[in-house]
Structure 1
Amino acid sequence: MKLTNSLVPLTLLSASLAQANLIAYWPFDDLSGEVAEDIIGGYHGILNGGTWLEPGKVGAGALEGAGANEVLCPAEAISTTEDLTLAWWMIDNQSSWGTIMDKSFTDSTSGFDILVRPTGTEDSPLRFRIGGWQAYGGWGTECRLPAGAYEDGEWVHIVCVYDSATDTASIYVNGKLPENGTLNPKTGIAGEGGYCEGVNNTTAPLYLRGGKETFTGILDDVAMWDRALSPEEITTVFTSGPLAVERPAKELAITSFDLSEITDEFTLTWNSNKGELYAVKYSTDLINWDADLDDGILADEGETTSRTFKLTNLDNPKALYFRIEKQEE
């Protein structure tokens, strides 16, 4: 069959694409064993020490540490070079430097660290560093909370956000952004080269409650998104938890149609969400949509999915129409 420009890509609108882009969520409700389950992405953490507490701030449990212990998660848990949101509940009773999360090597210029200061010090109690240790020549100027931003020894909800579009980082406390002046710079983290290589680090493992220095306080309900949550969404996470956040709905639509007149092949591209399944269907009359080219397409990484097809065994219809359908699991 000779394909011509009579092939028409048809847009199909759907509200079913609304989702959070929540890529990992460790509720710490396991209560026993040496595995902290990630109920979203499957990036289960291996415990090296620590004590399960019952109940937690949210749900059945939480994790308390003492001494050299940590939760080691796969390197693939965070592999974005763009937006990032990290959220958790904690009780900070640290008597020395402690690391809440770490995904960088000592000499790295990529990755990120979240550290807390010893209890009772006048300096910033929590720091969010993008770009790894050497991005700042050792200790440098990071995104910080001011002294007194939260009470030691009490539950507090923290959200760290990196917005690549504006190259800024922010730290929210109990759903709100503190008025802390230069300690939480709105124009980006200082340091030679800015953010250096950004948050992306595909080889360093992700540590919760460890990495460089162990966090010995209590940690609960750790969640990660590969986008920058809005202030309204951060409030929702604080009040209702990570699973309550939905990504603003976007159209399920064919965004690109490329036809090769040499091979009779064509490529369709459409908006998609990671982890979802799609079907590509076609029709000759916009009435019968029973025919499909593929009904089990797993979405590509990123915001779109592309597939190439070649139509055969058709009786030279005057026109062909295509649409994308999200498959229910």
Structure 2
Amino acid sequence: MIDKSWQCLIAKGEGNGWRVHRRGGDNPPEMTFTGGNGDVDRHNVAMTVGEDPETWHHVAGVTDSSTQEQILYLDGEEVARKSGATLADRGNPMRIGDNPDAANRNWQGKVDDVAIWGRALAPFEVADIWNGGDGKSIEEMLGLAIPFEFTNIIYNAAEDGFRLEWNSKPNKTYALFFSESLEEFDADIDDSITSQGETTVYPGEDEWLPNPLEGAPKLFFRIEENQ
């Protein structure tokens, strides 16, 4: 809600620190970015925080030390740029929804998927995060969002055997368990299955795992990544 003139989204401080905030006195209300040299210039792109609480926006501030420029992106597009940026660590704690150097500038709204990168993002990377408004999670960008689950379980009635497939990670090993219920998985089939890359097939493409509970009315499998 716009019930105060200054609202800080995320900050490390004033001066040559950095902050993303709604600047007081702007008409229409604007988001701005300080990345080592004061606020970027006005961009005349209004973001009326609170007018529609279900509308999400993506805000990104980039300081490029190689060019000494600070750049503000709104919803995947560059809207302002300023030169002469010299970013410094002011020793303050980073705060989300507040500014450690300026009291009573709390953010009035929702915040999600905050990320701080150790390098300057390229324009196409910022656009990729915005993803046309659908959004892309930080986990997905870092390759951490692949669900760890069985992707295929085939039963061969003639062989009374199974072939299992799951998402895996390179250079990992896995343990496979089975159970007649979903409550206990104490019985293990193999506790040292070597990953085959991003997908692992067990026991193999042309092999079948003998039914560990022959004649059982139901059977459950569980896969665990070894630490």
For the pair shown, the structure with the greater C-alpha radius of gyration is 2
Q: TM-score, normalised by structure 2?
A: 0.50
Higher relative contact order (CA 8 A, sep 6+): 1
Q: TM-score, normalised by structure 1?
A: 0.36
